Structure formats: structure tokens, C-alpha cells
Structure 1
């Protein structure tokens, strides 16, 4: 028993062998892609504070800040030199007794609101927060107006029959 495929005759065993190879390859590839990788350790052991409470506080603050080099990672997750510097600043200020708000204020004054992953709503960032809503409303208006124009321009079937 053989099957014809693009002018090439293959036995049923060959088809079965190909199907098994493809299945094994697919399972292997899926396993490699989805296999969980170990978490990245951006913070070096020498960076960590001796007090676990202070270390947790430093990590929480670093998780609220954007790495300006990486831009899609927090300072806590990044291993860029900038992130290492910011983590060092955070730990230094914690060790001198600064509050979380004082540290965030210091970093905002030095690097701007962009360093915060969730920028505050103020007169400078209001467009950032409202732009998606304005664009959505504008898009709906354009679609509605375009459809209305198309409906008014389309000849009616009854008018065509009357003209004949």
C-alpha cells in the first residue's frame, strides 16, 4: 500500500516514521521553549543589606522604579550599571534612615517622573493618561462618520428600479 505525494511514492511505514519524527520534534521544541528558566539574579550578593527587613524594603522600592537604560525592566530586575547605581543609592539612603517617600522624591527630582513605573497623574502627565481615551473616542467618531457618508452615497435599489 503506497500513497502518492508530489510524484513521490512513499510506503505507509515511511509516512508513519515521518509523523513520529515530526511529533517528537514538536514535543522537544515545545519543551525547550516552555521550560521554565531559573530566575535572573540581577542583585549580586555583595549588594544585599545585612538586615532582611531593610533588604526587602530596598527590593520593594527598586521594583517601583524603571531602569532608564533597559526601559522595560525594573531597577530590581535589571543588571545594567544604571540599575546597580540606583540600587546602591536606595540602600545608602535606607541605611541613613530615609523614608520610602524621601527616597522616591530624591530619585524623581534627580531623574524625573519617568523613573517611576507608575507615573503620577499631574498637569505634566495628564496627556499620557488621557491620550488612549481621546484616540479611542476619535476613532469611533471617524468610523461612525465614514459609515454614515457611505450609507448616504450608496444608491438605493428602489431608485435604480424606478429609473429603468
Structure 2
């Protein structure tokens, strides 16, 4: 009975994925110029598993799949911008480290300037109040 329990407890540790590894997850493209393009894009795409690393730095299997997909699309002649747009369409804006300039985000971009302006107005009013006799 003890042997059966030990065998069942160790089964998840011995399990392997049925899927083969992505072909270009850890293998670079032979053409250095294409690899630079792919690598540049990979550094700006967020790992969906880790969430704090780019797919270029992550060891997660999902990141490996995304690296392979990017390399295959670069070798097929797609541009990094087209691949980024495809990834954003598939996974949402969050997947990209590069911020978008969507109209809904304009208040977010304008907020620091507005706060700085209001701070300067407040500072000016305080300075004027101190100078009065």
C-alpha cells in the first residue's frame, strides 16, 4: 500500500508534456540581421506566464512558444510591427511593453502635465501671498 501511495505521489513529478518543444524557442535564426529583428521584438513583448519578464528573458514554455512564433514569422518575411500588431490583437495591449497612444489613454498621458501646471499655480499663489506686506 505504501509503494502505491509513493508511486501516485511521484507521478506528477515524472509527467512530461505531450507537446514537442517549439522549434525556434531556443535556436537562433541563421541570418544575423533577421535574428536582431526578432530579438529586438522579443525584448518588447511581455511573457504571459511570468508577467515581469520579456519573452527574450523568460524560461516559461509559453515564452518559448512565442519566441519560436516570432522567429518563424520573421523568417517568413513579416515585419516586427506586423507581428506586434498580431500579438496585441491576440493577447491584448498588455502583452507589449511599448505604450500605445489610443485616444482613451490621452487623459493618462496628460495627467502629469496637468498636475505639474496646477502645482506651479499653487506655488505662485503662495509666493505672492508671502510677498504681501
TM-score category of the 2 structures, normalised to the smaller one: 0.5 to 0.7
> Within the alignment, does 1:101 sit opposite 2:108 as a pair?
no
Counterpart among 103, 110, 114 of residue 130 in structure 1? 110
More strand by share: 1
Largest Rg, 1 or 2:
1
Alpha carbons 1:119, 1:125 under 8 Å: kept: no
Aligned to 2:26: 47
When normalised by structure 2's length, the TM-score is: 0.60
* 1:47 positional shift: 1.6
Partner of 1:114: 94
Count of residue correspondences: 109
What secondary structure sits across from 2:59 in the alignment?
coil
What root-mean-square deviation, in Å, do the aligned CA atoms of Structure 1 and Structure 2 show? 3.0
The CA distance in 1 between the partners of 2:64 and 2:25, in whole Å, is: 11
Gaps of 5+ in 1: 1-44, 157-164
Instruction: Tell me the secondary structure at the aligned position of residue 103 of structure 2.
Output: coil
State the secondary structure of the residue aligned to 1:143. helix
Q: Which runs of 4+ in 1 moved over 4 A?
A: 68-72
Which residue of the partner structure matches residue 145 of structure 1?
Answer: 125
